[in-house]
Amino acid sequence: MTGSGEFQPLWPRALRPGDLVVIASLSGPLPAVYEPHIRQTVTVLERMGFRVRRAPLLEPERSHWWSAATPAEIAAEFNGLLRDPEVRAVIASDGGQTAFGYLDLIDMAAIRADPKPILGYSDVSLLHLALYARTGLVGFHADMAVPGFGGHWQTASAARRAELESLYFRLLTGAGAIGALPAGPAWECWRAGRTEGRLVGGVINRIALVQATRFAVPPERFDGAVLFWEEMGGHSSHVWSYLQVMRHAGILDRISGMVVGIPREIAGLESPGASPTLAEIVLDVLGDRDIPVLGNVEIGHAGPNLPMPVGIRVALDARQRTLSLLEPAVRAHPATGPAD
């Protein structure tokens, strides 16, 4: 699956201690009750050695309908961060329902000129998919401020927090590949096998929906890819339907493996007998496609998140329950030399 003409992603520039990271409202509003999550996120990032700033739209209770602001306002602020050479990474404050409203307003040229890590999941996974489709940008399907760094991380054990902090720091700053992600006790082999390929994925409904737009991931980007997805809310039948959409779109015929996140608040899954399990749903839609499937991985709403950098090569061994990042998610900037 590898050749001289293989697609090459656009890697963000590696961060260095002292670099500026901005927390921004890329979708939903910030309820006042979650303000402590923002403060905790600042603490976590500063402990990693970064400077942290809040973008102006990140104000408690500021909102427009279900969004932090209008799509045009969010896009304007986001583009300003993309164009600002001092800003070295953008972390979403939360998910929501807004990114579809400004995909056509994003300054793609600014991303190509100065690629930066963009972190977030939920609605933010739509940004990762669209930007990967248009520019090749490696996007970080990873924790954000609410409830990630500021919530889920704070309820984890001290050892787990230290493990995650080291993992994220290496991911954002290191020139070397991470290797095996720390496996959790919930990981399950749903279909055995081993493969290598580029990570592509996000929230399953966003994967299905973006493919109906002009920001769709080109079909060939799924050739040999390891598809990862997770979901929150809705019904188990919705998950089955989204997988069927990807089957009809030909995605399931192109991928070489699948990683499924821990489901959260999906109606039906808690009622054995009334609904199939998530593994049964996945295997039903896959049919006789003999690809490895690893389930119940900590990616997405169940949190704390293991980072899934869209576009980098990974090795998946479902039987052994291992997932390894085979290449760095960032690259050193030519003007600065090797990353630390």
Q: Give catalytic residues, as residue numbers.
A: 122, 230, 301
CA distances from 87 to 119, 193, 283, 308 (A): 13, 41, 43, 22
Joined tokens for residue 239: 């998950």
Residue with token string 């996120």: 41
CA distances from 243 to 61, 84, 96, 190, 283 (A): 36, 39, 22, 16, 10
Closest CA to 90 of 136, 58, 68: 58
Joined tokens for residue 194: 């081993």
| Spatial distance between the Cα atoms of 310 and 133, rounded to a whole number of angstroms | 11
Helix (H, G, I), strand (E, B) or coil at 181: coil
Parallel/antiparallel/unpaired status of strands 179-180 and 194-203: unpaired
Q: What angle do CA 49, 146, 155 make, to 5 degrees?
A: 80
